[in-house]
Structure 1
Amino acid sequence: MISFRALLKFAPVLFLLGFSPASAAELLMMEQPGCAWCARFDAEIAPAWPKTEEGRRAPLRRVDITRPWPEDLRHVQKERFTPTFVLMDNGKEIGRIRGYVGDEFFWYRVGELLALLPKDQPIQ
């Protein structure tokens, strides 16, 4: 078995060769304090999300648009309208859902976006 220290020795070489750890999809949720539609999403969808196949394929990641923007999302355009959901795959934007008007529309749109992921996408 290879030790962690041995892996660290080879990390720069692997980086230069273009190897990177596998990355899965995630559903980015842009939100802000006082957002009534974000609160509705929290009541209707958020508790069930991690228990669903959709949630396992794309875990929810929340980002407050009023806070400093995360460095790893610098290439993702920030929205003013919240909530906005962005399906990301390996750091690449797949699609967006702007707004939340209810659970039926949300599940439909999420299904459309997840259908755009590669069929062999790992489920977490």
Structure 2
Amino acid sequence: MTFALVAGLTVLFPPASREAQAAQLVLFEGSWCPTCRYWNKTVAPNYATNDVGRLAPLRRVEIGTPRPAGLDKPNVGTIFAVPTFVVMEKGREVGRIEGFTTEKHFWRRLGNILSSQKLAGRK
């Protein structure tokens, strides 16, 4: 991720306290999926260490396995493609990103979802 992009996301999403953390990013992925592997190589190593990753911690779900409690319908809609990134807040889907092309595109779309939900300022 470029420095300017990280700095911009930090301004938009200051670190949240643990008590304020109500969001999570659920990654529906397939171990066989080359695009999922690319995301895991380029974004995943730094996801948890930045402010956005702390605001919406990552939870992984392998496609083809039973969905964990709380990720069943109607809380999360149908998954059509992998990877699919679902932003959850208080047990409900509030946004999603289907597929992955570039790191810059991923961070921009995730930032748009989080800012549209005003998750960053909640206490």
Point out the more displaced range, 43-52 or 73-82.
Answer: 73-82
Q: Does 1:33 align with 2:31?
A: yes
Q: What is aligned with 2:106?
A: 106
Unaligned runs of 5+ in 1: 1-20
- Post-superposition shift, 1:98? 0.4
Kept in 2: contact 1:86–1:93 (CA 8 A): yes
Q: Give the match's secondary structure for 1:38.
A: helix
Alignment of 1:1-124 (within 5 A): 24-74=22-72, 75=74, 76-118=76-118, 119-121=120-122
Q: How many residues align?
A: 102
How far apart in 1 are the matches of 2:60 and 2:53? 13
1:68 aligned partner, one-letter code: P
Structure possessing the higher radius of gyration over alpha carbons? 1
Q: Structure 1 length as normaliser, TM-score?
A: 0.75
Q: Structure 2 length as normaliser, TM-score?
A: 0.76
- Post-superposition shift, 1:40? 0.4
- Post-superposition shift, 1:22? 7.0
- Post-superposition shift, 1:102? 1.0
Q: Give the match's secondary structure for 1:115.
A: helix
- Runs of 4+ with deviation above 4 angstroms: none
Q: Give the match's secondary structure for 2:37.
A: helix
Kept in 2: contact 1:94–1:116 (CA 8 A): no
Kept in 1: contact 2:21–2:55 (CA 8 A): no
> What is the RMSD of the two structures over their aligned residues, measured on CA atoms?
1.8
Q: Give the match's secondary structure for 2:44.
A: coil
Q: Give the match's secondary structure for 2:116.
A: coil
